[in-house]
Amino acid sequence: MQETSILTGAASEELAASLKGRDFLALADYTPQELCYLIDLAIELKRRQKSGEVYHPLKGKTLGMIFEKSSTRTRVSFEVGMYQLGGHALFLSGNELQIGRGEPILDTAQVISRYLDGIMIRTFAHRTVIDLARGATIPVINGLTDSEHPCQVMADYQTALEHKGKLEGLKVAYIGDGNNMAHSLLMGAAKLGMHMSVATPEGYEPDAGIVSQTKAVASETGSQIMVCRDPREAIEGADIVYTDVWASMGQEAEQKERIKAFAAYQVNEELVKHAKSDYLFMHCLPAHRGEEVSEGVIDGKHSIVFDEAENRLHAQKAIMAALM
């Protein structure tokens, strides 16, 4: 990640043109330069919003927001983001759409493409998002699936850049469940030249195929990627320490089993002693204080979780503005 903006010049125009009409399903689909452009655009849109400047590139356009999983940050940030960009967001509950009654996703995609200018979907199976994008003729944005959470990671790395002044060469340590957050953080780190280590208990590792794909990207960008068991090994010398809930939405029945399996993986005051003295703590929220993270860490001076949450708004505005 370069420290100066790439929003000007011929290269910027080429990047902007390459993004128009695209889907945003996974970070693997984007080049490092495109991801840098989107992060820079998010920072610029944040500056404009904070200064009170009115900027309406999506005036007259509508985003359909399909929710098959409930949400706080995704719902509010996309809806407010569309409003700030001059457009309109339409909430669509999965239970109220015909896909909830068995209509093929390809049919739904073709129909609502004739009404809308973009679709954001937050759902369970990643295949649903892929099929929706295959049938749609407008951009589809992945608001979350069980495999990927790319919008969150764009906000995460925007926040890290704002606090550290660079991304390339930083080390991210992820402690906990090898879930959708781990997957997208890994790919984002590899694309942006960051190093990343993941520590999980046995049986909760990130998907082997995604790790392999990430390592292939890392070999081209100079990133170092490691998956291990020992949280102390993973966190050693980390610039950014990241964790997520131990039982995600849909895994509530496994809560007791997971608490036992992850007992040694809490991010607490003792564990973070092994990170750099100026480490940043990040969490995608919602957090369970006393489980995956201690109160002292998430509410301490190193925590930037609310800056990170705010940047969901700005990162997603950049994605919508660029694609739609």
Both tokens of 201, joined, read 């208990």
71 annotated ligand-binding residue: yes
284 annotated ligand-binding residue: yes
Instruction: Catalogue the active-site residues.
Output: 122, 149, 152, 244, 284, 312
Which residues pair with residue 243 across a beta bridge? 175, 283
Angle at 123 between CA 118 and CA 129, to 5 degrees: 55
Contact yes or no for 210/190 (Cβ under 8 A): no
98 annotated ligand-binding residue: yes
Q: How far apart are CA 3 and CA 248, in angstroms?
A: 35
Question: Residue 192, SS3?
Answer: coil
251 annotated ligand-binding residue: no
47 annotated ligand-binding residue: no
In 207-304, where does DSSP find H-type helix?
208-221, 231-235, 255-261, 295-298
Q: How far apart are CA 278 and CA 175, in angstroms?
A: 18
74 annotated ligand-binding residue: yes
180 annotated ligand-binding residue: yes
248 annotated ligand-binding residue: yes
Contact yes or no for 174/199 (Cβ under 8 A): yes
Angle at 42 between CA 306 and CA 58, to 5 degrees: 115
| Nearest alpha carbon to residue 122 among 25, 244, 21 | 25
Q: Which residue has the tokens 């800056």?
A: 307
228 annotated ligand-binding residue: no
Q: Which residue has the tokens 């790439």?
A: 6
312 annotated ligand-binding residue: yes
Q: How far apart are CA 162 and CA 1, in angstroms?
A: 12
214 annotated ligand-binding residue: no
Longest dimension (CA), the chain: 55
**What does residue 127 show for φ and ψ, rounded to 5 degrees?**
-60, -35
75 annotated ligand-binding residue: no
72 annotated ligand-binding residue: yes
Could you tell me which residues are annotated as the binding site? 71-74, 98, 122, 149-152, 180, 244, 248-249, 284-285, 312
Could you tell me which residues are annotated as the binding site for L-ornithine? 180, 244, 248-249
Could you tell me which residues are annotated as the binding site for carbamoyl phosphate? 71-74, 98, 122, 149-152, 284-285, 312
